[in-house]
Amino acid sequence: MGKIVFHIDVNSAFLSWSAILRLQQGIDTTDLRTIPSAVGGDEEARHGVVLAKSMPAKKYGVTTGEPLAAARRKCPGLIVIRPDFGFYVEQSNRLRQLLAKYTDRIVPFSIDEAWAEFEGFEELQRNPEVFANRLREEIKETLGFTVNIGVSTNRLLSKMAGDFKKPDLVHTLFPEEIPQKLWPLPVGKLLFAGRAAQNKLKSLGIYTIGDLARSDPGMLKAHMKKQGEALWQYAWGREPDDLFGIHTENKGYGNSVTTATDVTEEAYARQILLSLCETVGIRLRADHRKAGAVSVGMRTGNFENSSRQMQLDSATDVTEELYQAACTLLMRMWDGHRPLRLLNVTATRLTEEEYRQYSLFDRVNYEKLEKANRAMDSIRSRFGEDAVMRASFLKSTVSPTGGGLNREKRREQISRKNRPAEEEKGKEKSEDG
């Protein structure tokens, strides 16, 4: 069978991890996962959005990304707690350490998602679904939370398989299963088929993924240019090497975000990069590692992928240094105007050495920045993510540590521009699942 790829996705990650923490600390005697609950903003101030929800809350119609006020109207007894990003990083690292028992080819995609690639694993080759179910059970028993595992021969198909039905399930989507399992689905279920693409495809008489696969790729390219051609390839389960803007050989710490709307403003793109670098920096410091190189990847609205990498003068775990390098790399690839739909930052060439090479012309007090970063990590670990944030995020549409977008504010901004408010549910990365 050759290479087997698992896509591991933590179910309602923030909610699950917060429930575990509160049970450990004795704050709750009832597991939040068993009652209507959500992770979101400040309940007393009655603002913010739902970042993750429990299954009982979902039955009331509570959805990820909606304002908390709307969620409370649907479910008056909804319990809302604030996120604890430091603990989430710990749980993410525990998951990856468990996966590392079985393969060294682990490709992180976000804090609660990763691919595990296997090759030459005889037991897995005989029955990958059985092995995946055993791994799913081990994660549940050892770490205390559930995951969905998608199984296939590449990242695209494994990710789509994992999204079929949740929670706590294993699904396969091998190439020979595509006509039966993938093609009957609405075209909006195809990864990267956003709202505008769906509307265009429907205007061409394409309603299912099967309709798309059976369409003339030349016709699609004529109407939708490169995007139409790319979506046709995805409908057949074919994955280009740079589909997710990340590469297996980049062993390091990374974070990505697929935006719900086009990013066309440089200031907004820089804030997304800062949020990604914040997450990467926290993870580096938590593991006492430093990065000697930074890479940035991007995808435009026309499905054009680009990536750049640069070596740093000295290995670092300082968020500000990672961010400066990331901005430099982005502006080498991007003209500041082409619509962006995906950004990622990865820190590589890892080391545990404390040595730093200083320049006579360098006026930055890196020692002070390092202490400030660690102090912020400590405060967040004790009092939650929102206990401290950078001033640039106070009026931002970007979450300061999660790499995600503040959907409530972003929707207001988009509405003023008479643009679509959001992509079809499921197209943007959320912590729900």
CATH of the domain at 216: 1.10.150.20
pLDDT of residue 232: 94
117 membership: H or E segment, kind and range: strand 113-118
Q: Could you tell me which residues are beta bridge partners of residue 403?
A: none
Type of residue found at 411:
R
- Does 155 lie in the same domain as 63? yes
CB 51 within 8 A of CB 39: yes
Three-state SS at 53: strand
The pLDDT tens digits for 48-107 are 778 889 999 999 999 887 888 889 999 999 999 888 877 888 898 899 899 998 888 888
CA distance 387 to 152: 41
Q: Per the domain annotation, does 248 fall within a domain? A: no
Q: Per the domain annotation, does 421 fall within a domain? A: no
**Which CATH number does the domain housing residue 342 bear?**
3.30.1490.100
Neighbours of 82 (CB within 10 A): 17
The pLDDT tens digits for 203-246 are 999 999 999 999 999 999 999 888 898 899 999 999 876 676 55
The pLDDT tens digits for 176-211 are 999 999 999 999 999 878 778 889 999 999 999 999
Q: Per the domain annotation, does 41 fall within a domain? A: yes
**Which has the closest alpha carbon to 296: 316, 272, 263, 265?**
272
Specify whether 177 is catalytic: no
Q: Per the domain annotation, does 425 fall within a domain? A: no
CA distance 209 to 191: 10
Q: Per the domain annotation, does 303 fall within a domain? A: yes
CB 40 within 8 A of CB 63: no
- Does 353 lie in the same domain as 366? yes
CA distance 187 to 214: 12
**For residue 392, is pLDDT > 60?**
no
Range of the domain at 49: 1-184
Distance set, CA 276 to CA 5, 292, 344, 411, 421 (Å): 25, 17, 7, 21, 23
- Does 219 lie in the same domain as 162? no
- Does 220 lie in the same domain as 149? no
CA distance 262 to 340: 5
- Does 163 lie in the same domain as 224? no
The pLDDT tens digits for 273-325 are 988 888 888 888 888 888 989 999 898 877 778 888 898 888 898 888 999 99
- Does 54 lie in the same domain as 39? yes
Distance set, CA 65 to CA 126, 138, 410 (Å): 41, 30, 11
- Does 4 lie in the same domain as 15? yes
pLDDT of residue 187: 94
The answer for residues whose C-beta is within 8 angstroms of residue 82's C-beta and 6 or more apart is 39, 40, 41, 42, 43, 384, 385, 386
Three-state SS at 410: helix
Catalytic pick from 113, 117, 370, 408? 113
For residue 175, give the DSSP letter.
G
| Structural domain count, the chain | 3
Three-state SS at 29: coil
- Does 221 lie in the same domain as 143? no
**For residue 367, is pLDDT > 80?**
no
